[in-house]
Every structure is written in C-alpha cells, then in structure tokens.
Chain A
Amino acid sequence: MFVQPENWSKLSATEKREARFASWMSTEGRPFASPDAESEYKLRAQRIKDVIDLKKPDRVPITPFVGGYFAKFGGITPYDVMYDYEKYTVAWHKFNEEFKPDFLVFSGAFNPGKVFDILGYQVYRWPGGSLSKNVDFQCLEVEYMLADEYDDFIADPESFYMRTYMPRAFSALQGFGMLPTFFASMELPMAPALMIPAGLPPVQQSLKAFMEAGLAALEYAEASGKADGYLQATYGMPALPGGFTKAPFDYIGDTIRGTRGIMLDMFRQPAKVIAAVERLVPIATKLGVQTATMNNNPFVFIPLHKGADGFMSDADFRKFYWPTYKAVLEGLIAEGLVPWNLVEGGYNSRLAVIAEDHPPAGASYWNFDQTDMTAAKKYFGDWAAIAGNVPSSLLHTGTPEDVATYVKGLIDTAGKDGGYALATGAVLDHTTAENLHAMFTTGKEYGVY
C-alpha cells in the first residue's frame, strides 16, 4: 500500500510521481535473501524509471508480458495454472529462474478457476470450465448490456453493474438484481425495508456465493503474492505493473456491448456511446488510482483493443475513442501514476493522432505489438517511453539467429538514446526456449548503453 504524504494535494504531478517511485523503489521493509538481490532490485527499478524519464538506462530493460508460455516451459497445462497453485508456483519459479527477465510482469495467464466456478462466470470460457484443459482462457462476446439500456448505464453505472450486469455475467449472482437502493436506509422506520430483499432466498444464495468467492480470491491472492514474493526476495525482480484500468471505449466494447454491438451503436446511437464513455472517465481513473495505490506501484496496466488500426477510421478514433482515453491517461498522470499501455494489434495510423495531442511528457509507457517502431520512436520518442514489438510469429517459428537480428534492429532504432524497454509485442504464449533465450541474451548484451 502506498501511503500518501499529508501534503499530497499540494504536490505537482511530477512530485507525486517521484513520491510513488521512491516508495516502490525503496528496499526498506522488503525482505531480500541477499545483499545482491537487494542491489539487483534497486538497479532494475532504476532501469525502468530511467526509461520512463526518457533517459538512457545502463542497459535496455527486459519486460516481456508473460502469458501461458511459462506453463508450457514448466510442463503444466493451462488448467493447472488456474486450479493448482502449487504447480503454478513451481512452473512460475522455473520460468523466471531460467530466463531471468528484469521484472515479474503481471502474468495474465494466472487466474483462479475456483472463483469463476463458484460464481458461474459467463463472460469467459476457461480450461477445465467449458474449454479443454490444454487451452488458455478466452472471452465470449455477448451483449451483456442491451442496445436500449444505455440510459440506465449512464444514469448510474455502479448500480447498473451491480443489479443488471452482475446477474448476467455471473449465474450465481442472480439475486443481485433484487437488491434495493441503499438510500432506503435513511431513517429508522425506513431502514428495515432495505433489509427485506436481503432475506429472500435468491439474494441470500447470491450473497453466500459472493462470500465464498471472496475467500477463494483471498487464497489465490496469497498464493500469487507468495510466488512473486519469493522471486523478488531471491533475485531482486520487481513486480510490474501494479494497478489496472481500461480505455472507456474498451470497457463498453469488450465485455459490456461487445465488438459488434458497439460498432453498430456508433452508427445507430452515437450520442449514447459518447455519453457512456464520458461517464466512465472518472470511474476508470479511480480504478487505476486505487489498484496501483493498493499495490504500492506507480504503473497502471491498460490493455488497448478496439482503437487499433482497422477497427475504426482516424476520424472515429478522434470522436469515440481518444478523448476519453486521453482523459483517463491525464487523470492517472495527475495522480503521479504511469499508464502502462499494452497496445495490441497495430497503431500505425493512430501515432500521429496521439502525438499531436499527447498527454504530459515523461509519464507513460507504450508496449507496441505490430506497430512500426521507427515511426513509434519518431512520434512518441520525445515524450513517452516505448517498448515491445518482438513478434509472436517470429518467436514461434523463427530461429534464435532471426530473433537476435530482430532484437538488435529494435535496440538500434527504438532503443536509440534510451526511452525503450525490450518486450514481446503480444502476450507471450507460444515460443521456444531457444528463441526466448536469444531475445533476452541479445537484450542483455547488445542493449548495454
């Protein structure tokens, strides 16, 4: 937990960011197995901070976004990752001990199947749920909010989520739809009215499931914290990123209306889409601030989806996507946080759009997938840290020599004069150990400034 100093509200964004970094980089109170591990921790944290500050670090930091590959390397299935925390821990340690990346980048593959089973989660399918044990979890796009429900959402997003979305997204939470407004608790004679629905069997069942899921989530948090804590203490690998949120358009487009739904809405009810994404700005910002603060980490993970090249015109990107996304970025940066954007797909036509109206300098990180990195450096280099772009196809099918050549090219162009971190373009699910070694070794040797 990051504890804000008393004068927090008087600090500038830069001062807040420095305070958050200082707290994250401090080794005081963190257990380390050896003085070496402690100095490695400081060195690595400084390395990524230099990149954010658009300076030259001692060498290019290595920050791959590790997905299911660690499980394959450790000989366990995607099912094991979600259901067997001991197996998960052994495989996660084996991967990090073998490849020694600079950071423990939040493993998107590790999620608690038990929590989803208890709640009857509908939005995803996962191994051991309705997918084979050998397949990673995947999203199922359905209209969890119907086309004519925008007004309800805009009027009160939290209430819509609790009473309408949750019963649709979690089959065990049907009773949430019967929860009354909490304003009913205003005076003694009215307060009992609030409690009556809580006594009804569907609400009781849902609350029971909710509490069970809470205990299962705690078990998972403990297991994951222990697994990362060991690696941090033994090898000095800091964990990244700390918080999470999403671009408002993606909130609606990914798991509320779905791609097809929101894209038709852009033609049929554009004003509602814009009102909804605007309504989400303070909510998305607050989520990022709270989660990062809780984890004492200056970084906020933001996976970007529906704004990629081809998903809409630049004109629509300026109209529907960028204004509210930019507002979230600015809100996070004002609170001293560093948005860690995972820019999936290509962002080639968006680079210029963002650069001409960019958020404050030296305060954001952009991990690109299929974006031209020379162009990314040109448009972003003087105001934002960039990362990524080692292609998943190359890691899966290329030779170690191919990978080394590609990484050298990235360091020469994107890494020129600092401000770059070496990472995969997409989440790392499939590769060979030889190719991954080639990527990391080249980064560690050729990436020295």
Chain B
Amino acid sequence: MSQELIDAITEMREEDVVAITNQLLDEGVAPTDILMACKQAMDVIGKRFEEGDAFIPELILAGEMMTSVTDILKPRMAEESTSDKLGKIVIGTVQGDIHDIAKDIVAFMLDLNGFDVTDLGVDVPPEKFVETVQDTGATIVGLSGFLTLAFDPMKDTVAAFKAAGLDDVKIMIGGGQIDENIRQYTGANAYGRDAMAAVDLAKSWV
C-alpha cells in the first residue's frame, strides 16, 4: 500500500496522493510510516532530477504534494523533535535581490532531506544572516541570488561571517549566474547548480 503512495507521488498523480494518504490512515497505518514513504518517493524524484529526468515543474508539484500530505498528517502527529535533524541551515536571497522561486525549492529539498531550515526570505542584509546563525547555532548557510547584482552582496555576506568570527560556518551559494569564478570571488565554501547539489553539499558538511 505504501508502494502505491510512492508510485502516485513519483508519477505526479496529485489527486491520488491525497486519496491514498487518507486511505492509509483509515487502515491504521502510522503517520511516520506514511512520511517514510513520502521520503522514499522524494528520493526517487531527487535522483531523477540529478540525472536530468525530472525538472523544476516536477519539483514544484512534488512540493505541493508534500504540503498536502503533511497538512493531513500534522493533526495526528507529535511535534517532531529537532534533535532528529541532520543539522541546522540558514538560507535566504541576498540583499538587493527579491527572487524567491529557486531559493524556496532549495529550502524545501533541504528540509525534506532532514535539515532544520531557517528561511530568511528575500533581500536579506548580511547582518541578518549573521544574527540568525548566532541565534540558531546553525553550521551551514545558503545564499541565493538570481541576478548578477547578487555577486557583491554574497561577497559582503561571506565577509560579515568572517568579521563576526564565525569562520567555521560553511557557506554555499547558488543562482542563475553563479559558477566557480563567483565562488572564488565571494569566498564561499562551495556553489551548487541546483537543489540536489545543495542537499549533497549540506550532507557532506555534517
């Protein structure tokens, strides 16, 4: 039965996903087992994305399906303990840039893969990133930027972490015009081309 849920998710059958989830609950399947099936399905989609067999529309719809499932399960589940998380990450779009679509997908994939993600939104000043890391104790930071105007704010944000003495915090950057040249320019630890690259980087850092 869980396999049916996995298949419905990976085959992008949105309505079936909701119906099967409700059916599983009626049959007495534990919410945690349903979540586990979702996780397996998302691993399949993530792998397809990495291999060039799934694309942004599939990730966006998968996000919608996961939200629908968790909305159904939430009332029946105890609050998830943060100690079960792989690590803490602070993410946001850098100062001056107001784009959020790609950043939202990355935050969603990190969350799904077991990270405790604090999403600061868009147009985030360097000091806000630093303060949030200090408050949450996060060890990883993700800086997003769609436009070339993000290059300098990314550099400034990396510098702000150094200035605050937070040298151990690992910083990844990503966005439309980001490559190895810009990684070096900003002083970030790594850059990623897409959401799965961000997950792989974060896992390698914890």
Which residues on A are within 8 Å of B, measured CB to CB?
68, 125, 131-132, 134-136, 138, 140-141, 259-260, 263-264, 266-268, 310-313, 316, 344-345, 349, 391-394, 396-398, 426, 429-430
Q: Please tell me the size bucket of the interface on B.
A: 20 to 34
Q: How many angstroms between the C-alpha atoms of A131 and B99 in the bound complex?
A: 13
Q: How many angstroms between the C-alpha atoms of A313 and B52 in the bound complex?
A: 8
Given contact pairs A125-B98, A313-B54, A391-B181, a sample of 5 additional A-B residue pairs in the complex whose CB atoms are under 8 Å apart: A68-B149, A138-B97, A259-B56, A312-B56, A397-B185
Asked whether B57 lies within 8 Å of A312 as measured between CB atoms, the reply is yes
Q: Which residues of A contact B12 (CB under 8 A)?
A: 267
Partner of B149, one of A136, A259, A313: A136
Asked whether A263 lies within 8 Å of B61 as measured between CB atoms, the reply is yes
CB distance from A266 to the nearest CB of B (A): 5
CB distance from A256 to the nearest CB of B (A): 16
CB distance from B1 to the nearest CB of A (A): 24
CB distance from A272 to the nearest CB of B (A): 15
CB distance from B168 to the nearest CB of A (A): 26
Partner of B147, one of A138, A260, A349: A138
CB distance from A137 to the nearest CB of B (A): 10
B101 within 8 Å of A (CB atoms): yes
Q: How many angstroms between the C-alpha atoms of A349 and B55 in the bound complex?
A: 13
Interface SS, A side: loop
Binds A, one of B73-81, B109-117, B172-180: B172-180
Partner of A263, one of B60, B97, B181: B60
Asked whether A136 lies within 8 Å of B181 as measured between CB atoms, the reply is no
CB contact list, B137-181 vs A, under 8 A: 147-149, 151-152, 176-179, 181
Partner of A393, one of B56, B60, B182: B182
Which residues on B are within 8 Å of A, measured CB to CB?
12, 14, 52-57, 60-61, 64, 96-99, 101, 147-149, 151-152, 176-179, 181-182, 184-185, 194
CB distance from B8 to the nearest CB of A (A): 13
Give the 4 A-B CB pairs with smallest separation, nearest first.
A263-B57, A393-B181, A397-B185, A135-B96
Asked whether A259 lies within 8 Å of B97 as measured between CB atoms, the reply is no
Asked whether B55 lies within 8 Å of A264 as measured between CB atoms, the reply is no
Q: Which residue of the partner chain B has the closest CB to A345?
A: B176
24 A-B pairs with CB atoms under 8 Å apart are A68-B149, A135-B96, A136-B147, A138-B98, A259-B56, A263-B56, A263-B60, A264-B61, A267-B57, A267-B61, A311-B56, A311-B57, A312-B56, A313-B54, A316-B55, A349-B52, A392-B148, A392-B177, A393-B182, A394-B181, A396-B148, A397-B182, A397-B184, A429-B147
Q: Which residues of B contact A138 (CB under 8 A)?
A: 97-99, 147
Asked whether B57 lies within 8 Å of A310 as measured between CB atoms, the reply is no
CB distance from B107 to the nearest CB of A (A): 14
